[in-house]
Structure 1
Amino acid sequence: MQPVPTALDDIRARLTQAAALAGRPADAVALIAVSKTRTVDEIEPLLVAGHRLFGENRVQEAAAKWPALRERYPDTQVHLIGQLQSNKADEAVALADAIHAVDRPSLVTALARAMDRAGRRPACFVQVNIGDEAQKGGVAIADLPALLKEAGAADLPVIGLMCLPPAAVEPAPYFALLARLARDHGLAGLSMGMSDDFETAAMLGATHVRVGSALFGARERPAA
């Protein structure tokens, strides 16, 4: 695995090229460095290299790492990209600059109330279960209009859609479908694409890609 700053330069170059192939400007796609399970020592080389956008799965883990890091790098943004429990809404709103996995009415309600209490409104993406997979989170495509209507009524700042395509299949049709759904609902944001497919996502309209292992290397597996 190449050093993290070198990997960052490589991924930025690949994103720029992919965007250019689709006639998009280089800054059209934001790179979220997925730092879940990564230590401060692993994260800091990216911060030193100038990267400022990171993704975390769990509120508790993010809260343990980022307040201290943000004291040294105050312009850093943290996006919560994993499934979120409604009872963590207050903590999520206090910590996050964006929340990528809004997927059900109860979470819409919890986040809206938390935002009202906190006086801050992180941007939100609605997660769509784009492959209709029972084991994954996300609102069913058929239920998306109703959830977006509820989010609008609650004044939740939804800026786009997010998806995780099925594994081990060509992701392009799923990315294209998410892009069409976003257009149909007047949403500009598309959080899609990870380490194995972020270039495809960038060519199909992603505004945010979530890249972890391609930046940091594979996570160590616990010993058996």
Structure 2
Amino acid sequence: MFLVIAVVSAIAVAMTHTVTLFSGQHSWYNLSGKGSDVPCLKCHADIGAEMNTTGAHVNVACDGCHRTDESVGYASDWEGNIEPGQGGHSASTEECMICHTRTAPTNFTHYYLGDECSDCHYYSGPLPFIAPAAGGFDLTGDTGDTGEKAAHLIFVQESLEDPLMEGANEACVQCHTEVSVNVSYYIPQGYKIELNRECGWEVNISCYNFTYVEGS
């Protein structure tokens, strides 16, 4: 009899702890056309704090960038029609250049946003303000944007080919955020120059005696 009472008591205690353990761990979020109430800062508080200190983005909600590509197909409950999401659930990673070009982004949409127009656009003259173009790297579509004089052109071009982030975001993030960067490179200690004047001047320049440098 005492054994039965002990077993029942143990089960009751275990069930109480189980209910307590899972309490509040499952919540439903609104993914309607008024924006998402998913608590992004629950995981990305450091990014949120940094964004709130940079003037251009201080009034832009998370979904102002991460739920703006209509080609993705996000989860939603627009007008009660449940959509679980296809290309993305609550958010997607987008290229910084989706806004920072001189041309209008083809897939950008305000469909999911409840933000005010003035959060990103304001009138200061005959034309509405748009995000400044990230020129100097041959990425904006501007005919004068050749990037031929850019000191970091190769870095940006290599970022375009790297699968880690979208587009050239690796370069954007490493310069324009507080993320830690570890750079390894080789510095030439000497140059060899050969001149040939047989049929006009021909100059060949090569490097030698490289020194490995690592910094952050």
Task: Give TM class, smaller chain.
Answer: under 0.3
Normalized per residue, the structure richer in helix is 1
TM-score by length of 2: 0.23
Max Rg structure: 2
Structure with more relative contact order (C-alpha pairs < 8 Å, separation 6 or more):
1
